[in-house]
Chains A and B, each alone.
Chain A
């Protein structure tokens, strides 16, 4: 079974990706899902729906928005628009990740299928590691990590549902607090161009402002306004010496 280190088969790269479940980003995400699980239990979402939602959406902000819409009794189109707007961010992430993980022979249907497993954590982890892997190993490595992460977290929310309400409130709160901090730091750290940093700062400032100005549409408006401002800043502000627009 032992092979030469450079000649990993697809299966070996898949397993190497799957082993990423024992990594700090993976633990953080599991912590965030424990928090999500606790939140779902509190709000009365049944366990089966929590698990199905986790597997099908596989994007925490979208899941939170969907639950919020269900509680508020929002109509299906209203909920679909709200979730769709929050999931928009996945498109450029996928767009950037695809050239990193595919090889020339990768069929598009494989990418369409595997793109489901791209979310913030799997994106950051794959972007950070793909460069060190030979081209033919990247897609299996990503698939191993991302599919394992999704499955483990679906099982996690199903198993822990109803258990975590017995955790002290402070622990549940701390776990739930992981998500925003993890998103800020991971997106900041993995940004390869400066407009991402501009957009993060402007979005954080505009979010609460639009929350008061246009309740219900604050994410959409702060996203569009913040994005345009960040884009303008990227064009207008002089670049640092040596900085590249990657």
Chain B
């Protein structure tokens, strides 16, 4: 067995192609094919869009609550507070993304400076 899955000859690339590329692009291709048929207001599309958005939201929640890398060394309450502050600012600023992002980052930075 190699030390790491990452230096195992061509295996990581096969892994990336099958478990990364194929399973991702198949949804894009299906989207193209279905996009020709479903009308934007159809009930099925509303349901699929709800499930898809909730899936992404769950991914986002994981990124904030259980991150990997350097973010995992920051306090969880600070990441939640920074996200909440950023989102509130975004809503108050009439949904200007840049405002939400700047406030979230500023809260995270400010909080870290105070904690450390």
Q: Any chain A CB within 8 A of the CB of B114?
A: no
A230 contacts across to B, CB distance below 8 A: 50, 53-54
User: Which residues in B have their C-beta under 8 angstroms from that of A25?
Assistant: 97
Given A116-B25, A200-B57, A218-B58, A44 and B31 contact (CB-CB distance below 8 Å)? no
Task: Find out whether the CB atom of A56 lies under 8 angstroms from the CB atom of B20.
Answer: yes
Contact of A178 among B18, B67, B101, B112 (CB under 8 A): B101
| Interfacial chain A residues near B18, Cβ < 8 Å | 76, 80
Chain A interface size band reads 35 or more
Q: Mark A84-100, 1 if CB is under 8 A from B, else 0.
A: 11111111111111110
- Against A, the Cβ 8 Å flags (1 = close, 0 = not) of B86-105 are 11001000010110110011
Asked whether A208 lies within 8 Å of B53 as measured between CB atoms, the reply is: no
Report B58-94 residues with CB < 8 Å from chain A CB.
58-71, 73-74, 79, 82-83, 86-87, 90
A198 lies within 8 A of B50 (CB): yes
Question: In the complex, A183→B62 CA distance in Å?
Answer: 13
B101 surroundings in chain A (CB, below 8 A): 28, 178, 181-182, 185
Cβ contact within 8 Å between B50 and A228 = yes
**CB-nearest residue of chain A to B57:** A203
Give the one of A69, A177, A199 with max B CB within 10 A.
A177
Residues of A near B70 (CB, < 8 A) are 38, 42, 169, 172-173, 176
* Of the residues B23, B24, B54, B61, contact of A208 by C-beta under 8 Å: B61
Known contacts A108-B32, A185-B101: A177-B53 contact under CB 8 Å:
no
Instruction: Mark contacts of A219-246 with chain B using CB atoms, 8 A cut-off: 1 yes-contact digit, 0 otherwise.
Output: 1101111111111001000000000011
Pair A46/B23 contact, Cβ less than 8 Å = no
Taking the closest CB of chain A, its distance from the CB of B90, in whole angstroms, is: 5
Task: For the complex formed, measure the closest distance between the CB of A209 and the CB atoms of chain B, giving whole angstroms.
Answer: 9
Residue of B nearest to A41 (CB): B69
Q: Indicate if A57 sits at the interface (CB-CB under 8 A).
A: yes
**Contact, CB under 8 Å: A180 / B64:** yes
* A111 sits at the interface (CB 8 A): yes
Q: For B86, list chain A residues within 8 Å (CB).
A: 181, 185
Report the separation of the CA atoms of residues A116 and B27 in the bound assembly, to the nearest whole angstrom. 10
Residues in A with CB closer than 8 Å to B100 are 181, 184-185
CB distance from A229 to the nearest CB of B (A): 8
List the B side residues contacting A163 at CB < 8 Å.
none
A62 an interface residue at 8 Å Cβ cutoff? yes
Q: Take A89-B56, A181-B83, A245-B41 as given contacts and tell me if A62 and B71 are in contact as well, using a CB distance cutoff of 8 Å.
A: no
A selection of 18 A-B contacts at a CB cut-off of 8 Å is A65-B59, A80-B22, A87-B24, A88-B27, A108-B36, A184-B100, A198-B50, A200-B56, A207-B61, A207-B65, A211-B61, A222-B58, A224-B51, A227-B55, A228-B50, A230-B53, A231-B50, A246-B40
Q: Which 10 A-B pairs have the closest CB atoms?
A: A203-B57, A94-B31, A227-B51, A226-B54, A207-B61, A223-B55, A98-B35, A84-B23, A203-B54, A207-B58
